[in-house]
A and B are shown apart, each in its own frame.
Chain A
Amino acid sequence: MADAATPQERRGPPDAALAIELVGISKSFGPVQANKDIHLPVRRGTIHGIVGENGAGKSTLMSILYGFYHADAGEIRINGTPTEIPDSQAAIASGIGMVHQHFMLVEPFTVLENVILGAEDGALLRPSLAKARAELTRLAREYELQVDPDAIVGDLSVGFQQRVEILKALYRHADILILDEPTGVLTPAEADHLFRILKSLRDEGKTIVLITHKLREIMAITDEVSVMRRGEMVRTLATAETSPAELAELMVGRRVLLQVDKKPATPGEVVLEVRDLRMTDRHGVERLKSVSFDLRAGEILGIAGVAGNGQSELLEVLAGIRAASGGTVRFKGKPLDLGSITNADDRRDAGVSHVPEDRHRRGLVMKFQTWENACFGYQHRPEFAGPMGIMDHAAMREDAREKIAKFDIRPPDPELKAANFSGGNQQKIVLAREIESDPDVLLVGQPTRGVDIGAIEFIHQQIVALRDAGKAVLLVSVELDEIQALSDRVIVMFGGAISGERAVDKTDERELGLLMAGIDPAAKGAA
């Protein structure tokens, strides 16, 4: 590989200007080599980004650094000193703090209790709590990390919960902070606030390692960036001297189109007419509050919003796997039954197919082989189920082979279980199945979550092709980039209601971001 810099020559004496230096780290799980001779220099007082596709080995590398895994070979140097990190206690002792993608918080505890958890000074809590309270006040002042120390963590928004995680690390005197995909659950405004916090931490001399797949964030906040691909460290660059296109190319190993190539839409008649749709969950919480919109043939309607603002519920009610508590939905003029969780069959028969948000939980049976998954949901169709309810395995295999060929699913083996495919190929299986059923309406949730860049390009092209064939697409995504790239029209949801609707070419990220936080800039201007 020509572009893979060989950092062998850097295996020199320890450099004291480096907060972290990984030298020749290798780790394999059985036959899978997750990390291959990794060299990573992270300079003190910088924000260092690590990018790579899913499965590139970023998380493994950070887990080695944090003591969850032990490297097969190589050396970790912290501030120039070779350091053994057998467990997370040792990592904390070396001044490393980690903010996980999924927070490690005790929800019924207060912020203060969470902060001291595992770092209590003695058997009695009172002195520790008092000390932590004083420390929290100081941190809040210095780094814009304001959180009410007595709030119950479960009541806080995700943005605040994340601050608690950062506070936990700082309370343990972390000088090096690792953040794993920190903005996945944040609104753009919350993400901006997080970045301000990170910058002020850096200016105080802390070192930050940011793991992300969002190139925009890398460009916006990091000083240096390291790119990983298939377990190897491809290159470390100064952020100022690179571009998103170059990073994407390094991640994938070939040129990729970051923009979707699409013609203007030619919307036809209304196929899905949603009126006053309401849904209350079993805890009595209103998840959908009078949602109304139209979906036309030949358009992609994007539903934007921070995760948990009712988009998932909307998608599932439309797909017939969640019951609504009120309102109507008409499909080509005919009302749909919204009262039960077992209407998915009727929807498919009518011509509404659904790529669910969570392919592991819903879209696929992970332990089924691909030929079994390729007709999942369509198993009662006459081409798969013969007389006496005996399934036609030959037809199912043939159908799977066609879908594998058409959607370039790799490896092209219909006998392989879904669990043994990469995220992108799993998603292609679902997409192939739902698009090949020739629907009039395609409901898509998070089509590229956990999918590598190469597959994202392909999936986006398929969705646009479906639109160009005159079908209607409802796209739910928490990735604003994706919504902007694919949709013709955008609806933003906040707190279970529609907070605004925009034509995608007449709006921008800032405006959509405000709508995602429930603020309508247009309405504000009028008032």
Chain B
Amino acid sequence: MKPALPRWADLALIPALNLILAFLVAGLVVISIGEDPVKAVRVLIQGSLGSSYGIGFTLYYATTFVFTGLAVAIAFHASLFNIGGEGQAAVGGLGVALACLMFDWPHWTLALPAAILGGALFGGAWAFIPGYLQAKRGSHVVITTIMFNFIASALVVYLLVNVLKVPGSMAPETRNFSEGTFLPFMHEMLGAVGITMSRTPMNLSSILAVLAAFMTWVLIWRTRLGYEIRAFGFSEPAAVYAGINPVKITIVVMVMSGAMAGLMGLNVIMGFQHRMVLDFVGGAGFVGIAVALMGRSHPVGVVLAAILFGILYQGGAELAFEMPKISREMIVVIQALVILFTGALENLVRIPVERLFLMMRSGARQAPGAGE
């Protein structure tokens, strides 16, 4: 018995078909409000990939989604559905901000390790509690992590309003970080080697995100811990049989997942805004779920899906600007359609495609025998 689908179909064909379906339905929505869907697509692509400015923004958004997408993907491998990326990113961002505010760092190379540590530590700690409750008390992480999103949001508001706010200021945000913490922008780095690029928020974190994806791959498929995580994810009784402690694995995976979500603050806070503002996460934690689903929890898939969502974010903003009838909410509808078709309705395409492949295979097998 062979698996129903070859690997390339599983990894590329099905997501592509899902995406096409999502865009077809989105096109119908665009038509229904009296706009031209072909023009909309052109604006979307032009706005996100048509210039170095667009690409910079697209990849800036994508970087954020890589971190939150990897966070969800890691937990998925242990069959844990961590939907608390939003809260873990918020608290992790707090860790990044505190690390940056701690000293007047002389150079970003010194500040970066501290910020990574701060983001991972705070994000991990925020996921530790649901992880512990799941492992020891059986409280389902889906319930606890979503509740922790609200607690995190309230906590961050409280701290920004009452503790971290600049005295006398009306804005609920921290003071600006010292320049020694600013991560280099991509246009600065490329400029240094003679490539000109428009000024965009894209920064060094994008490279860190690719590194994080590679480390995740090593973790899941090359280390013993990853082996144990996958075994636990496929079958808890089998994991126990193999001497794997389910309590330990659950907590460790949740902490790693939270830490990954927490690193998202590097991109937004340390790389771009240079201070911590209210709502800097802005739903990226939830987009991470869609990214992990669409990327089939594989780091490469996560990176590709994150870029797709970056395109939707950046191109969507352009679309709302260029075609006023397509409002910001319309863009959210299109993004939701992508999530719906790639995540929830995956089997809609998968099952017919699997049938098709089986038919083709048995057809190919019977054909030579037909002459007998």
Tell yes or no: B51 within 8 A of A by CB. no
Tell yes or no: B136 within 8 A of A by CB. no
Distance in angstroms between the alpha carbons of A377 and B235 in the assembled complex? 13
Tell yes or no: A362 within 8 A of B by CB. yes
Known contacts A321-B240, A363-B238, A365-B235, A31 near B222 by CB under 8 Å: no
Known contacts A379-B227, A379-B228, A342 near B234 by CB under 8 Å: no
Segment of B52-60, B273-281, B340-348, B358-366 in the binding face: B358-366
Q: Is the CB of A390 within 8 A of B242?
A: no
Q: Is the CB of B234 within 8 A of A377?
A: no
Residue of A348, A364, A368, A372 touching B243 (CB-CB under 8 A) = A348
* A381-394 interface code vs B (CB 8 A; 1 in, 0 out): 00011001111010
Name the residue on B nearest A344 (C-beta).
B243
Report B-chain residues with C-beta under 8 Å of the C-beta of A391: 222-224, 227
Name the residue on A nearest B247 (C-beta).
A342
Tell yes or no: B245 within 8 A of A by CB. yes
Distance in angstroms between the alpha carbons of A376 and B224 in the assembled complex? 11
Distance in angstroms between the alpha carbons of A384 and B242 in the assembled complex? 14
Distance in angstroms between the alpha carbons of A348 and B244 in the assembled complex? 12
Distance in angstroms between the alpha carbons of A320 and B361 in the assembled complex? 46
Name the residue on A nearest B361 (C-beta).
A31
Q: Is the CB of A31 within 8 A of B365?
A: yes
Q: Is the CB of A389 within 8 A of B231?
A: no
* B224-251 interface code vs A (CB 8 A; 1 in, 0 out): 1101101100110110111111110000
CB distance from A343 to the nearest CB of B (A): 8
Name the residue on B nearest A319 (C-beta).
B241
Known contacts A31-B365, A366-B234, A379-B224, A354 near B1 by CB under 8 Å: no
Report A-chain residues with C-beta under 8 Å of the C-beta of B235: 361-362, 365-366
Name the residue on B nearest A386 (C-beta).
B224
Tell yes or no: A138 within 8 A of B by CB. no
Total interface residues on B, CB under 8 Å, equals 29
Residue of A30, A32, A345, A361 touching B237 (CB-CB under 8 A) = A361
* A446-458 interface code vs B (CB 8 A; 1 in, 0 out): 0000000000000
Report B-chain residues with C-beta under 8 Å of the C-beta of A52: none
Tell yes or no: B137 within 8 A of A by CB. no
Name the residue on A nearest B362 (C-beta).
A31
Interface of B is mostly: helix
Known contacts A365-B231, A366-B234, A30 near B241 by CB under 8 Å: no
Tell yes or no: A332 within 8 A of B by CB. no
Known contacts A363-B238, A385-B224, A391-B222, A342 near B245 by CB under 8 Å: yes
Known contacts A31-B365, A379-B228, A391-B227, A321 near B234 by CB under 8 Å: no
Report B-chain residues with C-beta under 8 Å of the C-beta of A390: 218, 222-224
Tell yes or no: A341 within 8 A of B by CB. yes
Tell yes or no: A380 within 8 A of B by CB. yes
Which residues 304-336 in B have Cβ within 8 Å of A in the complex? none
Report A-chain residues with C-beta under 8 Å of the C-beta of B240: 321, 341-342, 344, 362
Known contacts A30-B358, A342-B245, A365 near B238 by CB under 8 Å: yes
Distance in angstroms between the alpha carbons of A343 and B228 in the assembled complex? 16
Distance in angstroms between the alpha carbons of A377 and B228 in the assembled complex? 9
Report B-chain residues with C-beta under 8 Å of the C-beta of A420: 1-3
Name the residue on B nearest A32 (C-beta).
B1
CB distance from B237 to the nearest CB of A (A): 5
Distance in angstroms between the alpha carbons of A341 and B247 in the assembled complex? 11
Report A-chain residues with C-beta under 8 Å of the C-beta of B224: 379-380, 384-385, 389-391
Q: Is the CB of B222 within 8 A of A361?
A: no
Q: Is the CB of B241 within 8 A of A377?
A: yes
* A339-355 interface code vs B (CB 8 A; 1 in, 0 out): 00111111010000010
Distance in angstroms between the alpha carbons of A31 and B369 in the assembled complex? 14
Known contacts A32-B1, A365-B234, A342 near B243 by CB under 8 Å: yes
Distance in angstroms between the alpha carbons of A319 and B240 in the assembled complex? 11
Distance in angstroms between the alpha carbons of A364 and B241 in the assembled complex? 9
Name the residue on A nearest B219 (C-beta).
A389
Name the residue on A nearest B231 (C-beta).
A365
Report A-chain residues with C-beta under 8 Å of the C-beta of B4: 30
**Interfacial residues, chain A to chain B (CB-CB below 8 A):** 28, 30-32, 319-321, 341-346, 348, 354, 356, 358, 361-368, 372, 376-377, 379-380, 384-385, 388-391, 393, 417, 420
**Interfacial residues, chain B to chain A (CB-CB below 8 A):** 1-4, 218, 222-225, 227-228, 230-231, 234-235, 237-238, 240-247, 358, 361-362, 365
In the complex, given contacts A380-B243, A388-B223, A389-B223, what are 10 additional A-B residue pairs having Cβ atoms less than 8 angstroms apart?
Answer: A342-B247, A344-B243, A346-B243, A362-B240, A365-B238, A376-B242, A385-B224, A390-B222, A390-B224, A417-B3
21 contacts between A and B (CB under 8 A): A30-B361, A31-B361, A31-B362, A31-B365, A342-B243, A343-B243, A344-B243, A345-B243, A354-B241, A361-B238, A362-B238, A363-B238, A365-B231, A376-B242, A379-B224, A390-B218, A390-B223, A390-B224, A391-B222, A391-B224, A420-B2
